[in-house]
Amino acid sequence: MAEQEQVRIAVIDFTKCHPEKCNYLCKRMCPLNRTGKECITVANDGKPRISEQLCTACRICVHKCPFNAISIVNLTAKLINRVHCYGENKFRLYGLPVPMQSKVIGLIGRNGIGKSTALKMLAGKIMPRPDCKGEESYEAIVELFKGKELQAYFEKLSKQGIKVSFKPQEINKIAGAFKGRVEQLLKRFDELEKLDEVVEELNLSDILKSSVSRISGGELQRVAIACCILRDAELYFFDEPSSYLDVQERLRIAKIIRGLAEKGKYVVVVEHDLAVLDYLSDFVHVLFGSKGVYGVVSSRLSVLNGINQYLEGYLKNENIRFREKELVFSRIAEKPEKKASYLAYPAFTKSYENFKLETLAGTIMKSEVIGILGPNAIGKTTFVKTLAGIIDSDKGKLNLGLKLAFKPQYLRPEEGITVEELIMQSSLDRELFETEANKRFAISELYERNLEELSGGELQKVSLAITMCKEADLYLLDEPSAFLDVEERLNAAEFIKSVIEKKEKACIVVDHDLLFQDYLCDRLIVFEGIPAKHGKALEPQNKELAMNRFLASLDITFRRDPQTGRPRANKPGSVKDQEQKKQGKYYYL
Ligand code: ADP
Ligand code: SF4
């Protein structure tokens, strides 16, 4: 269905709409209704409906609605191929990603603009309904994509089905739902009888006997990926496979996922770590739109063009600018020696029964953000907790006199408490919260929601906002990028930098998204050693030295994309890879 140059979209968030509290203020205030027309009506479910044909986009209802439930968007771009509408005045999706046999297709875009909807449609879990008031059916969609690759795909899906295996984004729910051991869970999915091979590939042998509810986030992610690839399917979907994994594990799962494509499967991946998406995909589709209102899927692009056009905010083929601002990566860090020293810590060791951490002495500057790079279970949290005096070193407390504010990696929301209640209970710098956190993350829009109802990304933003607005001397953030989309990651990085600069304190960030760390941090501490056995923290180093050392240990080289400044992993064995290795330049500044 081709739509005209002007498309009007009126969407009501029915979860926010409470006509019993406002007595249909939108309907009463609508100028068309006041002249006797039926632009806003009340449907059988008691909720209002806005006629997109009559609406003139005056937006009076948008401003009057006391619960911010209405969005009216006037699109001038020509939008074609509407594939789905959840119903009248509900979210709609234009276009679909095109799965290809033997290829990995990456999806890149903001949260809430239809990636999961698109995946569910390709998986046959929701049927297409191009007409908001019409019936769900495959016929219209087959017609819509006549002569294109998707025609054959939907014909097959509607006639014989396509067997799909899916790795969900919210893996924490698996831990809540399954009460047995890892081995039992994996056996349930082992349709191809290759359990031993997959356990070996994903390094799961040590945790087979562990209870699923007890394993760490990184382990749970690997178990979820194992469940997905153990199934005998034609199409494999991975929704954010890298969260909680360290860099080495990210590269390993990237290879495993590519291996599925090499075996002739269709593979589609949603991923916000751009280095991983880049490394993993053959092609990408960019998704853009307005959260909860509409989403548009771009044509298929090469990985280089797709990621660059996404960062640029402009799609060349479609001639659509979907974001005013370009997202730029290259950031020249202020020379640390220009900053005053904030804290100096001595070399120390910390031993547990089966693990020993050794650290070199270091100095952290005022207003400095220090990134930590290293695998999981290498002693990163132990290091910071010892600095903060929460745990003793082998020779006793360090006594640096630091008050720590800590955002843990795994966020376990309390039940039965709203976001507003949590914020009221927390001891925060209220002014900073309003001017920085709320402004950037629109936390107040989440106030009425219960913590356990929040998505991973929403919970991450609330936790980050609360931690950064606490009074402390040292801030420790463990994987703040998890579940945030690319724009939210950069926004979070700006937020952290801004707060630390304003407060003139210091922040240590553990994160495995290399582009995020590159963008956010002034300097980096590299951790080396053998996970779960012994770790060594080097002194804080400038980014080039630290990244070089870290990437050399992984035997992977990165170059900078000349157009966007973003670091890109070189394909192993490529000319660039070999050249850079010869020069010892694993990381290009
Ligand atoms: P993404 O995967 O990009 O985060 P989704 O496809 O999950 O986005 O959701 C896009 C929008 O579709 C959501 O913001 C939500 O408003 C809407 N949506 C999702 N599922 C339904 C549903 N079953 N009924 C109505 N609206 C839905
Ligand atoms: Fe009231 Fe807003 Fe619902 Fe209209 S959309 S009925 S103004 S709550």
CB of 12 sitting under 6 A from ligand 2: yes
| DSSP 8-state assignment for residue 139 | H
Radius of gyration of the chain (CA): 25
> Domains in the chain, start-ordered, CATH in brackets?
7-80 (3.30.70.20), 94-321 (3.40.50.300), 341-542 (3.40.50.300), 555-589 (no CATH)
Ligand 1: residues whose CB is within 6 Å?
Answer: 86, 90-91, 111-117, 291-292
105 contacts 300 by C-beta, under 8 angstroms: yes
Q: In this structure, what token pair is assigned to residue 295?
A: 């989403």
Q: How high is the pLDDT of residue 330?
A: 62
The CA 34 to ligand 2 mean position distance, Å, reads 16
How many angstroms separate the CA atoms of 377 and 380, rounded?
7
Q: Whose CA is nearest to atom 2 of ligand 2?
A: 65
How many angstroms separate the CA atoms of 587 and 552, rounded?
9
Q: Whose CA is nearest to atom 16 of ligand 1?
A: 292
- Among 11, 13, 15, 18, the mutation site with the greatest number of ligand 2 atoms within 8 A of its Cβ is 18
> How many CB atoms lie under 10 A from the CB of residue 505?
23
- Three-state secondary structure call for residue 109: strand
Q: In this structure, what token pair is assigned to residue 228?
A: 């997905």
Q: Whose CA is nearest to atom 22 of ligand 1?
A: 86
How many angstroms separate the CA atoms of 418 and 449, rounded?
5
Alpha helix (H) ranges present in 299-387? 303-312, 380-387
The CA 110 to ligand 2 mean position distance, Å, reads 27
Which is the closest atom of ligand 2 to the Cα of 19?
6
The CA 30 to ligand 2 mean position distance, Å, reads 11
CB of 33 sitting under 6 A from ligand 2: no
| DSSP 8-state assignment for residue 405 | E
The CA 121 to ligand 1 mean position distance, Å, reads 12
How many angstroms separate the CA atoms of 457 and 463, rounded?
10
List, run by run, the mean pLDDT of 10-residue segments along the chain (589 residues): 64 93 96 95 95 91 94 74 88 92 94 88 88 84 87 90 89 83 95 94 93 88 96 94 91 93 95 92 94 91 94 88 82 59 92 93 94 91 86 90 84 83 90 91 89 87 95 92 91 94 93 91 94 93 91 89 84 89 84
519 contacts 540 by C-beta, under 8 angstroms: no
- Three-state secondary structure call for residue 87: coil
> What contacts 453, CB < 8 A, 6 or more positions away?
none
Which is the closest atom of ligand 2 to the Cα of 61?
7
Q: Which residues are 526's β-sheet partners? A: 373
Q: In this structure, what token pair is assigned to residue 131?
A: 């007409």
How many angstroms separate the CA atoms of 360 and 524, rounded?
13
| DSSP 8-state assignment for residue 436 | I
pTM for the whole thing?
0.85
- Among 13, 47, 82, 117, the mutation site with the greatest number of ligand 1 atoms within 8 A of its Cβ is 117
CB of 69 sitting under 6 A from ligand 2: yes
Q: How high is the pLDDT of residue 18?
A: 94
